[in-house]
A and B are shown apart, each in its own frame.
Chain A
């Protein structure tokens, strides 16, 4: 990026000193395993809200999805609707409070541990832990690569050095300071992101002559939609794509529903509900969380779409044509570089670095605790010990770094939506059942978890062409990139797998109740 590297290096150093300081504070306050795993269950509501939001929003949510908004338009705002409505309001009010209360009562310290204890089943803990240990490194590697690419381009240092240094700094405070360090640093990072996005929105509208003027100019550009996108159903950047078209299906099923619903059963987010001492803290966190997410994805998607106006007015091209090598991920950085004052470019770069670090630290912590506590040591009722969990965290970090070096780029681009889809399909019905039933059915939960995971994998590997073509399994077995044709190959795996896993839960529950009715009253497990 074309900004004064000296200023950026100076501000980055100040930022890193603050991060290391907060990490050290977390380390000092981590006296026992509950501190390491669930931050001692006494986190401040504002820290919770910022940490939840900063973990939720990665660099790819701002730069990647902002770039998608530049390509597909303002319809992405529906993802913000779900991010706030489901990801904050429903998540905190309807899931968070019960998760906190039940988690505290059962002394659960991780998401798999919560599932295992709710169902009285080591299988549930082990299976959930395994899904995390196997699936999350993919997502983590994608965040690592995004962060390293960004550091390489801003600081002009070799990619390998950037990736290893990035992972090492985050690893240092995660491994030593546990969840307290993660959440304290998240809160600072969330604050920086909030400042960056607020300035970005204001400067964009100033640059384009005002709110109404900017939107009117964008709406007037509908005849500039490239032929290929128009054929796919794009009608403009201030209107929804044609109903049922290929672009509409991608926008609605993958981006809005896939990512919007997927966030509800993310283990690294669910564990945060167990870090506060009472429901009052969750009530207060809702007040901060809603506006925070609006200022993250709402701003990213709005500014993303509006970059079309800026590039058209200043360079005579649409945003997609202004992207470097046609890569939509470069649209937001290119827009910031060419349109914003130098000092803001530096602030925005720090915001992106903060977004990457906050998501990465939470993933490191969740993977480490899942491997060290749920998968390797899964006796359920015993308390966690910190040393093996720290070693497991280091092991998972090393795996993620290695994956980041070897994974193909085509899969990396899909990793976020894939992991969210997998989590929601496998966990969401069983998690909701555990939270809302006084006698949750283990049979129903097992059926749901297995059905969700298998259906998600089958649709991902054989039908949803964006992933199946990259994975190559369908081609290997059937000689075609996807076994079903359009429109099915544009429908996200979550839209198929989640209803199936929900149905499996309901069927399993009904069967279980039927058996209990036949056997007579039985004491709850």
Chain B
């Protein structure tokens, strides 16, 4: 993949990108979640 033949390396790159994507998606999906804790939590 992209010139890298060893799966142990390209799977690493793939996972790094997947986790980055997961951070982006999580942040977007929960953009407005968690604000209510301010009132009852603290």
Q: What is A's interface to B at a CB cutoff of 8 Å? A: 73-75, 77-78, 80-81, 84-85, 88-89, 93, 97, 101, 104-105, 211-216, 218-219, 236, 238-240, 277-291, 294, 298
- Closest chain A residue to B30 by CB distance? A283
- CA distance in complex: A104, B9 (Å): 42
A93-B26, A101-B37, A280-B33 given; A219·B5 CB < 8 A: yes
- Closest chain B residue to A279 by CB distance? B34
Q: What is B's interface to A at a CB cutoff of 8 Å? A: 2-6, 8-9, 12-13, 15-17, 19-20, 22-24, 26-28, 30-35, 37-38, 41-42
The DSSP consensus for interface residues of chain B is helix
Decide: B38 and A278 in contact? CB cutoff 8 A.
yes
Decide: A105 and B28 in contact? CB cutoff 8 A.
no
Q: How far is the CB of B9 from chain A (nearest CB, A)?
A: 5
Decide: A219 and B41 in contact? CB cutoff 8 A.
no
Decide: B34 and A282 in contact? CB cutoff 8 A.
yes
- CA distance in complex: A104, B19 (Å): 29
Query: When the two chains form the complex, which single residue of B4, B19, B33, B38 contacts A283, counting CB atoms closer than 8 Å?
Result: B33
- Closest chain A residue to B42 by CB distance? A104
List residues of chain B with CB within 8 A of the CB of A240. 6, 8-9
A219-B3, A239-B9 given; A85·B34 CB < 8 A: no
Decide: A215 and B31 in contact? CB cutoff 8 A.
no
**CB<8 Å pairs between A and B, sample of 20:** A75-B12, A77-B12, A77-B13, A81-B12, A97-B34, A101-B37, A212-B2, A215-B3, A216-B3, A239-B5, A240-B9, A278-B37, A279-B34, A280-B34, A281-B34, A282-B34, A286-B27, A286-B30, A289-B23, A294-B20
Query: When the two chains form the complex, which single residue of A84, A215, A288 contacts B4, counting CB atoms closer than 8 Å?
Result: A215
List residues of chain A with CB within 8 A of the CB of B35. 278-280
Decide: B34 and A290 in contact? CB cutoff 8 A.
no
List residues of chain B with CB within 8 A of the CB of A294. 16-17, 20
Decide: A238 and B9 in contact? CB cutoff 8 A.
yes
Decide: B22 and A290 in contact? CB cutoff 8 A.
yes
Decide: B19 and A85 in contact? CB cutoff 8 A.
yes
Q: How far is the CB of A435 from chain B (nearest CB, A)?
A: 14
Decide: A298 and B16 in contact? CB cutoff 8 A.
yes
- The 7 A-B pairs with the shortest beta carbon distances in the complex, nearest first, are A287-B27, A290-B23, A279-B34, A215-B3, A239-B6, A283-B30, A216-B3
Decide: B23 and A286 in contact? CB cutoff 8 A.
yes
